[in-house]
Structure 1
Amino acid sequence: MVSAFRSNTIYSTVADPEVDLASTWEAWVTEMQMQYAMFKITTNPEGTPLELMINRKLRHTTATGPRYCTNVGNWTRAFFLAVVCREQQRYRDLCEIPVDLLREAGEAKGTRYNPSSYHWAAALQDFVLHRPGLAENLTAAMELSTPERAEISDPEYLNKITFPPMNTFLRLVQRDSDRYNQALAQGLALHGDYWTTGDRINDIKGMFSLPLLALACLGYDTAEQDPDFHFDVESGYLPKHLLENSWYGEFPT
């Protein structure tokens, strides 16, 4: 079910790359709600009654306890979707989920994730919740995502897809506008290079980089609030009305 909403988000954005239409924004919001709901259902004690807004309706269900879907890959997607949709309470709630739970649930059936993924999730949580482990976790994530240290993933994917969001995030944390803009622009260029090479050129998953889009939204919002920080990046990989938060408040989320 969640994958269907993910596909709808991608196809809607392919047809409406700047997210000019409210229907495209709604596709993003609905997927965000579904991803968030999945974690509410699988991280609360089994049997806990829940009320969740999904696709303009309040849904009533009960928690199941952890499942395989409670994994770090789904967590990062849920987090970045909430950031793009500017749902601060939702991404704060997601940051309260212990990384150890993501590891235990996601690897319970033998699936393995690159150890950098867990440090990356922890660094994002540390940033949002103002915890002291941010520098340590981000450093570990960046080191473990290099081809020499990584246990999983091919070198090209690590260099062009995995590492650039971490580098962009580092510059955002440092409040270094020039290096942040440089890192973001470089990351988007590498994303484009990866997804326009060989057979990947026809894969619509390359339409945008969700991590870089979310970090762009954070940078854009930071520039709106901090006169010493500036946002200068323009790219076809950054849907204009998502970046500028044009649709927020259009309907209940």
Structure 2
Amino acid sequence: MPMKISRTPYDPGDNSAEWLAEIDEHTLEAVKRVEQAPHMFGLTFSSTLTTAFTHCLHDPTARASETWEAWVAAMQTGSALFASAMAPEGTTVECLIAHEKRAVPGLGGPTHFTDAGTWLQAFWLAIICRDQSRLTQLANVPLELLRGSGADFEEYIYDWVDALQTYWLEGEGLGDKLVAAFDGTNPQNLRFVDRELMLMILYPPLNVFYRFLTQDDEEFDKTLLQAVQLHHEYWTADEERADDLDGAVALAPLALACLAHDAGRPITIETEYLPENLLDRSWLGEFPT
């Protein structure tokens, strides 16, 4: 019997369609600006991701084409951000974003928004949208570029990124890198995040990924369920968090569930945190991404 985890009820109101169309228009304008102002890429990516999450509040199963378009635009923007960082300054890189090919200026190296947290978001989006070429592009982003952002992160995150890149590129040392990532999540050694965030949001995806690698369907399902439950508990712990769009979708667990789904693993959880039509790739091939 499927396990169900309900998200906090959300009332979209009577004018939700018009409001979403307005949000989509503002987001598209931000996307257009990156060709002239690549230093705004970080804010633009945040805007596209927020728009994708907002669509899922109104469309919990992601059954509307506009929801899929929003998720694809977020995926395209995140990947383009790192393509821009990898391109030499003074050049442009052609990126498809929101149905149009855009000549994005090369940033020629790290900047404040090319950090490891942004990379993880971009990677999860590429998995959810099943875009293998972008996954390969992201897997080839050097760790030095992520470190060069100057952002403060626990050291585990670089081992986590390294493990995911190694997995996708089928490189060597995956086990050791994953162990290093696990070791780095020890709450006693945290410097930049609190124990609650680590144990409830940051650590669970590592455990889910490990269970995916071991090909133990029962343990994978158990850890995925736990990750979604912890996500729910964290983002509903108080009124401020409950109103935060970051909790609308369990991004990392969703991406890992997509990997498992595509590998033929059974997913027994039913929840708005893992939108059904993103999980089962219902929209794949609807338009070029």
2:263 aligns to what?
222
- 1:164-217 deviation line (CA, Å, top 9, x unaligned): 000000011111111111100010001001111113122221111111100000
> Helix, strand or coil for the counterpart of 2:284?
coil
Alignment partners' CA distance in 1, 2:131 and 2:138: 11
2:115 aligns to what?
71
Alignment partners' CA distance in 2, 1:87 and 1:249: 11
1:130 maps to a residue whose letter is: E
Choose which of 65, 85, 93 in structure 2 pairs with 1:22.
65
1:210 aligns to what?
251
Contact 2:87/2:93 (8 A) holds in 1: no
Contact 1:70/1:102 (8 A) holds in 2: yes
* Equivalent runs, 1:80-91 vs 2, <5 Å: 80-91=124-135
Contact 2:89/2:108 (8 A) holds in 1: yes
Alignment partners' CA distance in 1, 2:156 and 2:209: 15
1:251 aligns to what?
287
2:232 aligns to what?
192
1:226 aligns to what?
none
* Equivalent runs, 1:35-50 vs 2, <5 Å: 35-50=78-93
Contact 2:50/2:245 (8 A) holds in 1: no
What's the Cα RMSD here? 1.2
Alignment partners' CA distance in 2, 1:249 and 1:241: 13
Q: Which has the higher contact order (CA 8 A, sep 6+)?
A: 2
Displacement of 1:54 in angstroms is 0.7
- For structure 1, the residue ranges without an aligned partner over 5 or more in a row are 224-228
Alignment partners' CA distance in 2, 1:113 and 1:207: 23
Aligned length: 244
- 1:110-148 deviation line (CA, Å, top 9, x unaligned): x31110111110010011011112111111111111211
- For structure 1, which segment, 194-203 or 80-89, has the greater mean C-alpha deviation from structure 2 after superposition? 194-203
2:232 maps to a residue whose letter is: G
- For structure 2, the residue ranges without an aligned partner over 5 or more in a row are 1-43
Choose which of 145, 164, 167 in structure 2 pairs with 1:101.
145
- For structure 1, which segment, 5-14 or 163-172, has the greater mean C-alpha deviation from structure 2 after superposition? 5-14
Alignment partners' CA distance in 2, 1:93 and 1:251: 21
1:232 aligns to what?
268
4+ residue segments displaced more than 3 Å: none
Please report the TM-score for the alignment, with normalisation by the length of structure 1.
0.93
Displacement of 1:238 in angstroms is 0.8
- Give % identity: 36
Alignment partners' CA distance in 2, 1:73 and 1:144: 15
